[in-house]
Amino acid sequence: MALNLVQAWTRARRELEAAGIAGPVIDARLLVEAAAGATRVDIVSDPYRALTPEQEATLEDYLARRIRREPVSHILGRKGFWKIMLQVTPDVLTPRPDTETVVEYVLRDFPETAAWSVLDLGVGSGAILLSILAERPAAKGLGVDVSEEALAVARENAANLGLAGRTALLRGDWTYGLGDESFDLVVSNPPYIASHVIAELEPEVRDHEPRLALEGGPDGLDAYRVLAPEILRVLKPDGRFAVEIGYDQKDAVEALFRDAGAFNVATIRDLGDRDRVVTGSKNPLEKKT
Ligand code: GLN
């Protein structure tokens, strides 16, 4: 007998729960919606709609993949972040809610009509850069990534969101080749997990997400050692920066930016009340000599 939407959701939840998947209710709903071509509203407003045999088979496939700890974002090929929907592949870090802290902070002080130039270092899927550009119509952005595959994902996302005209994407090694004093704002979510911690990560992350986007060297701080002085170099005087950090990296990363000459260095907490984003600005009076 064909399953209806609610039965499918219940069964999916039970299977995921039995397999020890964290958050089985939401994962089950997302997989049922995708397999059945249903919206969130359909499950409530049309709960007895039957799945076709093809949809049931698709759902079984999705559940089997999820039980093997493949992230939902990889199964669906997309992930919502801030107010946008992004395509994701195994070549990019799946956008996380923690990272919305960067966007929230930036938009707070970013005037609606400012024609700011924004640089996103390690742009990945484009989550941070495209969220900002989507909300600031006069801004333009450059996203840099060392991964050509990641840039292809960011490029597709920029096009899907109608932001390709204000988004430049460049393959590169952080700021290498970028001119001094070029940007009003620099953002980054660099790799910051210490190498020895990688083995302890959840299988969804450890086995499915790009190591390049996660691993920050022996103490997790390798990227910030490069980025702190370089971000200060490419920022315009009075320009700002916001970089994501690991929950226990506040003191170390703040020190790196202060040593690089940053002003107003401060750390913002995420919704889980963990230190998450180091911010600051460049001396407004700084002149090149
Ligand atoms: N927050 C991510 C995680 O814990 C890591 C992201 C990063 O290294 N930039 O999986």
Kindly report, residue by residue over 214-252, the tens digit of the pLDDT: 999 999 999 999 999 999 999 999 999 999 999 999 999
Spatial contact of 226 and 173, defined as CB atoms under 8 Å apart:
no
Average pLDDT rounded to a whole number, residues 194-223? 97
The per-residue pLDDT for 285 is: 83
The tally of CA atoms less than 13 A away on the side-chain side of residue 34 is 21
Q: How confident is the model at residue 286 (pLDDT cuts 50, 70, 90)?
A: low
CA of 215 to the centre of ligand 1 (A): 9
Beta bridge partners of 86: 79
Consecutive H or E run containing 73: helix 72-76
Angle between the 24-36 and 53-67 helix axes, to the nearest 10 degrees? Answer: 150
Percent of the chain with pLDDT over 70: 98
What is the crossing angle of helices 100-108 and 127-135, to 10°? 30
Closest CA to 98 of 120, 127, 124: 127
Give the residue, out of 81, 96, 188, 271, with the most ligand 1 atoms within 8 A of its beta carbon, to mutate for a pocket test.
96
Task: With beta carbons less than 8 A apart as the criterion, state whether 131 and 81 touch.
Answer: yes
Cβ(128) – ligand 1 distance below 6 Å: no
Taking the CA of residue 201 as reference, the ligand 1 atom at the shortest distance is: 10
pLDDT over 60 (residue 289): no
What are the tens digits of pLDDT across the range 47-76? 999 999 999 999 999 999 999 999 999 999
- Tell me, what's the pLDDT at 250? 98
Probe residue for ligand 1, chosen from 120, 214, 244, 275 as the CB with the greatest number of ligand atoms within 8 Å: 214
Q: pLDDT tens digit string along 101-148?
A: 999 999 999 999 999 999 999 999 999 999 999 999 999 999 999 999
Dist CA 134 CA 189 (whole Å) = 18
Task: Kindly tell me if the per-residue pLDDT of 281 is higher than 80.
Answer: yes
Mean pLDDT, to the nearest integer, of 89-108?
98
Give yes or no for residue 174 CB within 6 A of ligand 1: no
Is ligand 1 within 6 A of the CB of residue 223?
A: no
Among 146, 185, 140, smallest CA distance to 158 is for: 140
Candidates 118, 123, 41; CA nearest to 86 is 123
Point out the ligand 1 atom lying closest to the alpha carbon of residue 214. Answer: 8
Is 101 touching ligand 1 by the criterion CB < 6 Å? no
Query: Average of pLDDT values for 250-262?
Result: 98
Q: What is the pTM of this model?
A: 0.95
Q: Is 217 in the pocket of ligand 1 (CB under 6 A)?
A: no
Q: Are 241 and 185 in contact (CB under 8 A)?
A: yes
Read off the pLDDT of each residue in 164-185 and give the average, rounded to a whole number.
Answer: 97
Residue 1 binned pLDDT confidence (cut-offs 50, 70, 90) = low
186 Cβ inside 6 Å of ligand 1:
no
pLDDT over 90 for what percent of the chain? 96
The CA-atom distances, in angstroms, between 92 and each of 24, 73, 142, 147, 161 are 24, 11, 17, 9, 18
Angle CA 142–176–145, to nearest 5: 50
Mean pLDDT of the chain: 96
* Amino acid sitting at position 50: A
| Half-sphere exposure for 168 (CA within 13 Å, toward CB) | 10
Which residue's alpha carbon is at the smallest distance from atom 6 of ligand 1? Answer: 214
CA 48 to chain centroid, in Å, comes to 36
